[in-house]
Amino acid sequence: NPVKPLVIATWNTSLAVETAAKVLQNGGSALDAVEQGCRIEEANEKNQTVGKGGLPDRDGDVTLDACIMNDKGDYGAVLGVKNITHVISLARKVMEETPHVILIGDGAEKFAYEKGFEKEDLLTESSRKAWEKWKETSEYKPIINIENHDTIGMLAIDKKGNISGACTTSGLAYKMAGRVGDSPIIGGGLFVDNEIGGASATGLGEEVLKTVGSFLIVELMRQGKSPQEACEEAISRIVNKPGKDFKNFQVGYIALNKQGETGAYSIHEWFSYNIFKDGENKNIKSDYFTK
């Protein structure tokens, strides 16, 4: 029973998912699909949580985090990278062309230029204006859902039934310089095990990291839970911590298993995901804990 090409991605990322689906329909690998899909949001200047146009840290620097995992369980990531738009492709180069799994900051940027990546100013006029407005109060408050258009985590199954995943972000707006979230960390913002399935996260990365959320979801699926049950259990690990005040932050998860079943769950309303299945690309509102 061959699994049909399938793509799932966080938030309203219709064009990114459509792009990934086309790669799969043309016989491409899940790895190529998630990379090509994520590049769409990295280039989309209107998405202020990914790539070019991302909101800066509190010093006004846009720094990007990304990671990618293939069906062999290989992983590559870049953390805190300035001046490079397509950090998902850079993460893939780390995975495939270095003996390492993570490069950070200046070292990652230097590696990018060696590999022919273009230097670009990532701070757009509208993100610079938003930062200048923020500086008036300098009040740091993570935003729950940015226009339903946010960090992209993407999982795909190709025609051969192999699974890969990718995740790319500018992180939380107005973060401290040097702050890194869950998105580029293996098991946090992304985890894939080709025997079992994959998971990806969005939202307040600190809370995802403290519960190793994506790894947890894949391990719960290994133990027999459906992707939906596994996502719900991972959210419950966060909200059921004693005294945890989760009213002011969001976390959302997506997952898929080897059979092509999918799941999604978030703490609060308005998390959504795009899914390409049976030849159709849809944006679906996720079920959530505070309902």
* Binding site members for substrate: 179-182, 202-205
- List binding-site positions: 179-182, 202-205
Closest distance of CB 249 from ligand SD4, Å = 10
Which one of 150, 158, 193, 232 is in contact with ligand SD4 (CB under 6 A)? Answer: 150
Q: Which stretch binds ligand SD4 (CB under 6 A): 32-40, 122-130, 154-162, 202-210?
A: 202-210
Task: Write the CB contacts of 75 (distance below 8 Å, at least 6 apart in sequence).
Answer: 67, 68, 69, 95, 101, 186
Site size toward ligand SD4 (CB under 6 A) is: 13
Query: Between 38 and 57, how does the x/- string for binding to ligand SD4 read (CB under 6 A)?
Result: -----------x--------
Closest distance of CB 180 from ligand SD4, Å = 7
Burial of 111 (0-12, 13-18, 19+ CB in 10 A): buried
Alpha-carbon dihedral sign for residues 195, 1, 162, 39: negative
Q: Which is nearer to ligand SD4, 162 or 272 (CB)?
A: 272
Active-site entry in 63, 85, 151, 211 = 151
Which one of 5, 203, 213, 260 is in contact with ligand SD4 (CB under 6 A)? Answer: 203
Using rule CB under 6 A, residue 232 touches ligand SD4: no
Using rule CB under 6 A, residue 168 touches ligand SD4: no
Active site residue 151: yes
Q: Which is nearer to ligand SD4, 89 or 183 (CB)?
A: 183
Using rule CB under 6 A, residue 83 touches ligand SD4: no
Which one of 181, 197, 198, 260 is in contact with ligand SD4 (CB under 6 A)? Answer: 181
Q: Which stretch binds ligand SD4 (CB under 6 A): 22-30, 87-95, 103-111, 165-173?
A: 165-173
Closest distance of CB 123 from ligand SD4, Å = 17
Q: Which stretch binds ligand SD4 (CB under 6 A): 107-115, 130-138, 176-184, 235-243?
A: 176-184
The full DSSP string for the chain is -PPPPEEEEESS-HHHHHHHHHHHHTT--HHHHHHHHHHHHHH-TT-TTSSTT----TTS---EEEEEE-TTS-EEEEEEE-S-S-HHHHHHHHHHHSS-SEEEHHHHHHHHHHTTPPP-----HHHHHHHHHHHHH------S-STT---EEEEEE-TT--EEEEEEE--STTPPTT---STTSBTTTEEEETTTEEEEEEE-HHHHHHTTHHHHHHHHHHTT--HHHHHHHHHHHHHTSTT---TT--EEEEEEETTS-EEEEESSTT-EEEEEETTEEEEEEPEETT-
Closest distance of CB 182 from ligand SD4, Å = 5
Using rule CB under 6 A, residue 183 touches ligand SD4: yes
Contact status, residue 158 vs residue 120, Cβ threshold 8 Å: no
Positions in the binding site for ligand SD4 (CB under 6 A): 49, 150-151, 169, 171-172, 181-183, 202-205
Name the residues annotated as catalytic.
151
